[in-house]
A and B are shown apart, each in its own frame.
Chain A
Amino acid sequence: MVVKIIKTNKNNKNDHPVTKKDLIEVLDIKFTEYDKKMDIKFDQKFTEYDKKMDIKFDQKFTEYDKKMDTRFTEYDKKMDIKLGNFADDILLPAIDDIIDQKLDDKLDKFRVNERDYLNKQLFKLEGNLRSEIQEQRKTEHKFIKKFVKAAKNTSCFRQKDIIDLSSFANNLNIQKYAVKT
Chain B
Amino acid sequence: MQLKPNKSIEKMTWREKDRAWKTLLINIIEKYKIFKSKDIKELRDLI
Contact = CB atoms under 8 A, between A and B. Distances in A.
Q: How large is the interface on A (under 10, 10 to 19, 20 to 34, 35 or more residues)?
A: 10 to 19
A1 interface: no
Interface string A140-152: 0011001101110
Interface of A: 136, 139, 142-143, 146-147, 149-151, 153-154, 156
A146 B46 contact: yes
B39 A150 contact: yes
Nearest to A142: B46
Nearest to A155: B34
Interface of B: 15, 18, 22, 34-36, 39-40, 42-43, 46-47
Nearest to B25: A147
A169 to B, nearest CB: 12
Q: Which 9 A-B pairs have the closest CB atoms?
A: A150-B39, A143-B46, A150-B35, A156-B34, A142-B46, A146-B43, A154-B34, A146-B46, A146-B42
Contacts of A147: 43
23 contacts: A136-B15, A136-B18, A139-B46, A143-B22, A143-B43, A143-B46, A143-B47, A146-B39, A146-B42, A147-B43, A149-B39, A150-B35, A150-B36, A150-B39, A150-B40, A150-B42, A150-B43, A151-B35, A153-B36, A153-B39, A154-B34, A154-B35, A156-B34
A172 B47 CA distance: 17
A176 B14 CA distance: 21
B4 to A, nearest CB: 20
Contacts of A136: 15, 18
A154 B32 CA distance: 12
A76 B37 CA distance: 107
Contacts of B22: 143
Nearest to A132: B15
Contacts of B43: 143, 146-147, 150
Contacts of B46: 139, 142-143, 146
- Which residue among B22, B34, B46, B47 has the maximum number of chain A CB atoms within 10 Å of its CB? B46
